[in-house]
Structures are given as structure tokens and as C-alpha cells.
Structure 1
Amino acid sequence: MLSEVWQVVYLALYVFYLLLLARLVAGAVVRFSRRWEPGRSAAIALEIVFSATDPPLKGLRRVIPTVRLGNVALDLGFLVLLIIVIVLRIYVVAPLMYLPLGLMEESMARQPDVVTSDR
């Protein structure tokens, strides 16, 4: 049961990771192609992407200021959020997904073999 919970958490983090990547691509397209206007389905997809990723980004942007380098402003909040999601997926949730299986195999290995006689 616990393994399934961690699998759902891992899947949610993976979907959020994909949404962050979609936001990165959408931001690049908007910046480099100023005349691009999304079609109806693209506008709906982008609304979903921005609605899902805006709350955590706004929270991080309050804590982590934008770094100004001349005429360029670097949004470190996005980078920090991306790193947090990757670290959570790889180093926290992924090992916990398989923890119950490892404990079960370990406890099975400690049990002595039962010898039955046909008497």
C-alpha cells in the first residue's frame, strides 16, 4: 500500500517536472518569436501549464530575488524550483517507492527454512 502512495507522489512530481519544461519552452517561444499567437488548443494547454506552475514560482520569487546582470535579468526562482523537483524525484521519492519491497525481501531472507517431515 505504501509503495503505491510513493508511486503516485513520484508520478505527480514527474508531471510537474514536465509542466516546468513546457513553461520553459513556452517562455522561450514567446521571447524569441514576438509575433507568435497560440491557437485555441495551444492557449488552453498554456493556461494549464501556467496555472499549475505559477503558485510555487510566485512563492519562490518572493524569497529568491531576480539577479540583474546589466540588461539581463535571471529568474533564479525557476531554476531553484526545477532543481528541487529533480532532487525530490531522484533522491527522495524514488528510493522510498521500493522501500517496502526491500524490507519485505530482507525479512523473508531472515526467516529460517521450515523443514517438514512426512511422518
Structure 2
Amino acid sequence: MSSVISLIGSILYLLLLLYFFVMWGRFILDLMRTFNRAWRPRGAGLVAAEVVYSVTDPPVNFFRRILPPVRLGAVALDLGWSLTMLCVIVAMFLVGFL
């Protein structure tokens, strides 16, 4: 029984680790859009960007609804990505104990 739980924990941890890297991919894509508004991915990059945004949009938008972007003058601080990453890291930490 213990080995089954350990196997499930390992698989869950690997899935969370993969999601962690996908979240960093979203961060890089958002950063590229911030610095160059005219940039649009093409070809395989477009497919990869679509997968990244499709997988990461639901939790990020969920946290944006709970805690809308904080206005700091002319700038808005969006905490959706940060809260999603925090939850993924905490989940990885907890699953690591299985």
C-alpha cells in the first residue's frame, strides 16, 4: 500500500514540476509581449504559446478574480501569476512528503 501511495505521489510531483516549468514559460511569453508589443509567435512557437496559455489561463484568471490587479498610479500590479506559482510550489512541497 505504501508503494502505491509513493508512486502516486511521484507522478503527482512530476506533473506539478511540469506545470511549474509551463508557468515559467508563460512568464517569459508575457515578458516578451511587455517589451515588444508587436511580437507575435509564429509556426511552432504559436502552437507552444497556445498550449502554455490554455493550460495556465484558468488558475491565473481564477486568482485575478479573487484579487484584481492592484493599481499603483499608472501601473497595475497583477498578482494572478504569483499566487498560482505560490500554490504550485506549496503543492509540490506537500506532495514531496508522500
Q: Normalising by structure 1, report the TM-score.
A: 0.76
Which consecutive aligned stretches of 4+ in structure 1 deviate over 4 angstroms post-superposition? Answer: none
Please say which structure displays the higher CA radius of gyration.
1
Aligned length: 95
Asked if 1:20 is matched to 2:23, the reply is yes
2:48 maps to which residue? 45
**Partner amino acid for 1:11?**
L
Q: Which runs of 5+ in 1 are unaligned?
A: 97-119
Could you say what secondary structure the match of 1:19 adopts? helix
Q: Which runs of 5+ in 2 are unaligned?
A: none
Separation of aligned partners in 1, 2:64 and 2:53:
15
Could you say what secondary structure the match of 2:97 adopts? helix
1:45-91 Cα deviation digits (max 9, x unpaired): 0000000001111111111111010111111121111111111112x
Output the aligned Cα RMSD: 1.0
Superposition pairs for residues 1-119 of structure 1, below 5 Å?
A: 1-90=4-93, 92-96=94-98
Fraction of identical pairs, as percent: 37
